[in-house]
Structure 1
Amino acid sequence: MTIKAILTDIEGTTSAVSFVFDVLFPFAAKHLPDFVRTHAAETAVAAQLQAVRTDSNEPAADVERVIEILLQWIAEDRKATPLKALQGMVWAEGYQAGLLKGHVYPDAVEALKRWHQDGYALYVYSSGSIQAQKLIFGCSEAGDLTPLFSGYFDTTSGGKREAQSYHTIAQAIGLPAEQILFLSDIVEELDAAQQAGMATCGLVRQGGVLAGHSNVVSFALIDVSQF
């Protein structure tokens, strides 16, 4: 069946893992406490702080305690939805101030532009919030890449290692899973997408093998017509 859409991961796939861990996470950890203190009363922020209290079973936690929990989650690289949302808000301020520029590999930029021109619908699926995804591509070193994408998915669609998440995404895209090619650098994610019926291709930029899937070291080597 012909591929009509391409769904891509970000970390280790379109973008360097080091950008997330060495640039974005430290920026969020440094600026999040003051951001929360400043904006705690705003509706969007207050809703996420309440979600932190619920997720941590600390309904009476004050703002300072919530900040402690968030910093602990950052240290643990916890994939918590309210943390991702708040990090996204902090990063938005950083991008808008010009303090951050999204890293996207040049080979990914070139391929995404070519695929878009060729008529493939492009989507993102990352554990980072949809807002964070739009920022990394919208304020990238290569300029605003968001016009290339038709949609974004995050952990609100389910875990990236669960086949059901990919069924959910295929439904949202409106295509049979067999017409979607999923790109990632994590074998468990590729396995889950494959179980849901998607075509898969693994990015092995640092070498190694993602068993059971096509493997490439660069977007430049992906021939969509071969899937």
Structure 2
Amino acid sequence: MTPAAILTDIEGTTSSIAFVHEVLFPYSRVRLEDYVAAHAGEPEVAAILAAVRAEAAEPGLDTDGCIALLAEWHDADRKVAPLKALQGLIWASGYADGALQGHIYADAAEGLKRWHGRGIPLYVYSSGSVAAQKLIFGHTAYGDLTPLFACFFDTAMGGKKEAASYTSIAAAIGVSPGSILFLSDVEAELTAAASAGLMVTLLARDGAPAASPYPVAEDFRTILPEGVSA
């Protein structure tokens, strides 16, 4: 059957893992200190600094201390909300001035457009913030792809390796879990999604694994190709 909705991961699925780790992360890291120092008095950054103090349970931490902690979290790739929010602001600046362009595989752009054209609602679920997701899809070589998606989800819904997260997303979408197809390059995420009742497909862009308990696709071209139902 054709799924009632398609939910996709980003890294390793629609986009290169290298783009995030070799382009986005270094871009935000090298600009972190100067960006916070220059914008500390602005409401968005002031709110981030307040969130850093709350996360660290250090209400008296000054701006330099917050910057040092944010840099430490960045280097450790901590998935904490204030760091994600700051990265999003820095990346937004980079996208706006043309220094950054979101990486999307050609087959992913084509597949997303194909499914959208068939009337299948599309959703994103990534560990990156919703704001960062929209930046990646909003500034691509194929134009602004954000209108293709009905909604974006991040780990505010829960961890990607937790079945309850997918149950919550299904409830938010408003369709039964068994009617949703989830795409990811991480088997542990597929296991969690399958445990919640979702249909799943493993993206294996570097070649199919020797064995997988899940359907495998090397790119989007073979997933619901034109004229073929799931």
Summarize deviations over 1:160-182 as a string: whole Å, max 9, x none: 11111111111111111111111
35-44 vs 87-96, greater mean Cα deviation: 35-44
1:111 to 2:119 alignment: no
Bigger shift: residues 217-226 or 121-130 = 217-226
1:215 corresponds to 2:216: yes
- CA distances 1:29-68 after superposition (whole Å, capped 9, x unpaired): 0112111112222222222222222222332221111111
Correspondence 1:56 to 2:56: yes
**Residue 139 in structure 1 maps to residue 139 in structure 2:** yes
Residue 79 of structure 1: how far off its partner (Å): 1.3
* SS in structure 2 of the partner of residue 156 of structure 1: helix
Q: RMSD between aligned alpha carbons?
A: 1.5
How many residues get paired? Answer: 227
Give the letter aligned to residue 98 of structure 2: G
Residue number in structure 1 paired with 2:160: 160
Q: Is contact 2:208–2:217 with CA below 8 Å preserved after alignment?
A: no
> Within 1, Cα distance between the matches of 2:213 and 2:72?
36
Residue 75 of structure 2 aligns to a residue whose secondary structure is: helix
Residue type at the aligned position of 1:41: G
**For residues 55 and 208 of structure 2, what CA distance do their matches in structure 1 show?**
36
Give the secondary-structure state (helix, strand or coil) at the position aligned to 1:23.
helix
Partner Cα separation in structure 1 for residue 162 and residue 145 of structure 2: 28
Partner of 2:194: 194
Match of 2:205 in 1: 205
Instruction: Return the alpha-carbon distance in structure 2 between the equivalents of residues 74 and 15 of structure 1.
Output: 21
Runs of 4+ in 1 over 6 A off after TM superposition: none
- Where do residues 67-146 of structure 1 align in structure 2 (5 Å cutoff)? 67-146=67-146
Counterparts in 2 of 1:2 and 1:143: CA distance versus 1, 3 Å: closer
Structure 2 stretches lacking a partner, 5+ long: none
**Deviation (angstroms), 1:2:** 4.4
Deviation at 1:205, TM superposition (A): 0.6
* Equivalent pair of 1:163/1:195 in contact (CA under 8 Å): yes
2:213 and 2:63 mapped to 1: Cα distance?
A: 47
Assess if the C-alpha contact under 8 Å between 2:163 and 2:195 holds in 1: yes
Q: Equivalent residue for 2:66? A: 66
**Distance in 2 (alpha carbons) for counterparts of 1:90 and 1:35:** 7
SS of the residue corresponding to residue 100 of structure 1 reads: coil
| Worse-superposed segment, 64-73 or 43-52 | 43-52
The Cα shift of 1:199 comes to 0.6
- Paired position in structure 1 for 2:183: 183
Letter in 1 for 2:80: A
Secondary structure in 2 aligned to 1:152?
strand
Cα-to-partner distance string for 1:3-33 (whole Å, 9 max, x where unaligned) = 1110100001000000000100000001121
The residue matched to 1:77 in structure 2 has which SS? coil
Contact 1:48 1:85 in 2 (8 A): yes
Secondary structure at the residue paired with 1:47?
Answer: helix
The answer to whether the 8 Å contact 1:81/1:155 transfers is no
- Unmatched 5+ residue regions in structure 1? none
d(CA) in 1 for partners of 2:197 and 2:129?
A: 25
Corresponding residue SS for 1:51? helix
2-structure distance, mates of 1:207, 1:56: 42
> Are the equivalent residues in 2 in contact too, given 1:111–1:219 (CA < 8 A)?
yes
The one-letter code sitting in structure 1 at the alignment partner of 2:49 is L
